[in-house]
Amino acid sequence: MNEIKGVLFDLDGVITDTAEYHYEAWKKLAEELDIPFDREFNEKLKGVGRMESLNLILEHGGKELSETDKEYYASKKNDHYKTMISDITPNDLLPGILEFMEEVKSSGIKTALASSSKNAQPVIERLGITHLLDEVVDASKIERGKPNPEIFLKAAEQLRQPASGCVGVEDAQAGVEAIKSAGMFALGVGESLKKADWIVRDTTELNLEDLRQRFA
């Protein structure tokens, strides 16, 4: 029977839902650039890093910016986002995720955060879950964002666990692809996801016993 050595959690859409804050921050920036932006287009940005997201928005609007201007606008979007998330509390944890994380941690399995957000650390501190994560890997520690597997491989490396013994938990298709490319078991949160090894409707369905049975 295969044994789970590590569980690697995405942040947005898995632990807490800051997707709305990202949407509002990108929408505000797009409006400043006179680029149309709606929820349908926003789906393309899920699981994608900040600069890659900005490039997609600029392409969508048929605009070109210098690298200096791109850095300015990416930073401005981040300022919008940080203002919006300043009021996050443990009440913003998604239903069932705290119980699942506690179950995993108490079983002795190593845990890590693998998030495309550079604001991951302050968010998990406000959520009160830093004690449930052995390592935190965010966009500031990698060169290539999802769907590249680098962030998950880096998290497994920091946990000193083999990729084949790790489970990645994601709600975005780009994240699932990154997990599979890393040679890990993909646990997808959301029925629209494809190619995950186990797909749950939402975080209330997560439990360690079912995960172990599927991982085996």
Return the closest-CA partner of residue 173 out of 44, 27, 84.
44
CA–CA gap between residue 87 and residue 110 (Å, rounded)? 29
Return the closest-CA partner of residue 54 out of 34, 32, 26, 31.
26
Q: Are 133 and 112 in contact (CB under 8 A)?
A: yes
Q: Are 65 and 38 in contact (CB under 8 A)?
A: no
Instruction: Point out the residues that are catalytic.
Output: 10, 12
* Helix pair angle (19-32, 50-61), 10° resolution: 40
Q: How many CB atoms lie within 10 A of CB 208?
A: 18
* Residue 199 backbone phi and psi in degrees, to 5: -115, 125
Q: Cα torsion at 62, 65, 70, 72 (round to 10°)?
A: -120
Q: Rounded to whole angstroms, what are the CA distances from 148 to 9, 19, 192, 208?
A: 16, 21, 20, 27
* DSSP annotation of 103: H
